[in-house]
A and B are shown apart, each in its own frame.
Chain A
């Protein structure tokens, strides 16, 4: 299934340089329709910078970005949004003065408009029923009761849900989530993971998910890209990745992965064989 879909977004040798610092070093990756991909890496590995490059927020120093067969290198973020690429930000960036419903309505009025067909009397083609309007998106992310509240009055975890809702309001085909699970409680984490699975399974979205908390991520994704010091050091299934000596080397001493790898395999990696965790760090 993962290999069957067409490529929605492709990064070719993307490099981002800040002065002398190479934040992202010639990373290539492609994301196919219907995939649930994770991107992990230690602190400062260039995850967020790579994300920024993928969504046009950060212009890559070199390399190319092809979205849906069209070269968008150097284009502004609104062009990426118009091609069906939506993202969330690591710290929620909601419009605090506007109501929750208006926050969702914003995206619907801009990038979300693109699939409206005038010859169908404003009916929308190819938009999942759950994303049809503000109410639909709000019930999907579970903020229907807070619709009239100003977004600034929400709790941080609710703001994070709203952040996802705002990304969904652009009616994306590819959703890029930047550390949406950071700082959530155990139950919130389970709900968040369930929501992300739903987005992929029911709405047929492609999801790319960055997380520093590797444990949760590895349990749900089908493919993991590992970044380390700006370079891509692995791109494989979770089971293969946790056994990759280079990945283990990169993550050595990182308590998150220590935790992930020291757990029994069935819990860490869904359906992983017993030997999967044998190669954990000393």
Chain B
């Protein structure tokens, strides 16, 4: 497939998925819609995470910071402004924080970057807790203005859909190429004329804008929010895990993994919450060891290779235990003839 055909395929899949999700509230039960909402939230979060962190290999753990900032902004603003203004404002504040944060830590690489983004998330969470306790004298806030179920669903669907479209688009621009070059060899990309500092800040800000908007839209799901709910590091971790298991560099990997995980989470969380976390960990280990490209890199050939590997392994075990009569016979004949 050439580039154009890939683009057409991606757009068709995107269109079909969006249309399907659009129709869901019409026939789905409350439970199904709520599950789909979680699913769409993680599609948006991990697709946007993969857009920057996947291609540049800068592992950011700050998703929950941007999510929480968005959630708090909309919780504060919903009483005064409209729904979409609140979401836009959430995205805007998260972007602003990301630009400042990015300027401070994006020159670091690898573990240092990951740890610092996580540290900053905790810093923001504790700063807000402290501020609430000492200045306003309350912890958390109750959301009184809550829009319709379908409004929230359609907004998050719009965000997820826009994120995937953004991801399709950015891959084909100079920005996407620059991000890829930074992931492959940052210094080389610089000597070829990429202003890596700006590219990284823009990419990081894009991730943050999506996370902030999603946080702003999702805040109404809880009628009461406090720093521990919306700055929950688990949101950030799960985003990273989903993106990695799905294949962070790929377009559809995070989406596939997000769907799989939301379904898994809803079915397992009620029955056995610990089993869900264990499955998540196990899948991460397996995908890092045997499928570094993530679920999206699975092909029919991958299965064949695994099957052949298993067969070869089993054959050698069998010969070890039973001896290989056919091979012994063949060797004996060769010896006789040769």
Interface residues in A81-126 by Cβ distance below 8 A to B read 81-82, 86-87, 89, 93, 95-98, 106-107, 109-114
- By size class, the interface of chain A is 20 to 34
Chain A residues closer than 8 Å to B177, beta-carbon distance: 106, 109
Q: Which of B174, B180, B192, B195 meets A169, CB within 8 Å?
A: B192
- State whether B188 touches A109 (Cβ < 8 A): no
A78 at the interface (CB under 8 A from B): yes
Most buried by A among B177, B181, B185, B190: B190
Chain B residues closer than 8 Å to A109, beta-carbon distance: 174, 177
- State whether A95 touches B191 (Cβ < 8 A): no
- State whether A170 touches B192 (Cβ < 8 A): yes
- By size class, the interface of chain B is 10 to 19
- State whether B184 touches A81 (Cβ < 8 A): no
B194 at the interface (CB under 8 A from A): yes
Interface residues in B167-199 by Cβ distance below 8 A to A read 174, 177-178, 180-181, 184-185, 187-197
For B181, the closest partner residue in chain A by CB is: A106
- State whether A76 touches B190 (Cβ < 8 A): yes
CB distance from B120 to the nearest CB of A (A): 25
- State whether B194 touches A110 (Cβ < 8 A): yes
Distance between Cα atoms of A85 and B148 in the complex (Å) = 59
A74 at the interface (CB under 8 A from B): no
Given the known interface contacts A106-B177, A109-B174, A109-B177, the answer about A97 and B184 at a Cβ–Cβ threshold of 8 Å is yes
For B192, the closest partner residue in chain A by CB is: A107
CB distance from A68 to the nearest CB of B (A): 15
- State whether A78 touches B196 (Cβ < 8 A): yes
For A107, the closest partner residue in chain B by CB is: B192
- State whether B191 touches A98 (Cβ < 8 A): no
For A82, the closest partner residue in chain B by CB is: B193
Binary flags per residue of A61-87, CB closer than 8 Å to B gives 1, else 0: 000000000000000111011100011
- State whether A57 touches B181 (Cβ < 8 A): no
A residues neighboring B (CB under 8 Å): 55, 57, 76-78, 80-82, 86-87, 89, 93, 95-98, 106-107, 109-114, 166-167, 169-170
A/B interface sample: 13 pairs, CB < 8 A: A57-B187, A57-B190, A57-B191, A77-B191, A78-B193, A78-B194, A81-B190, A81-B193, A86-B191, A87-B191, A96-B184, A97-B184, A110-B178
What 8 A-B pairs are tightest by C-beta distance, nearest first? Answer: A111-B193, A110-B193, A81-B193, A77-B190, A107-B192, A95-B184, A93-B188, A77-B191
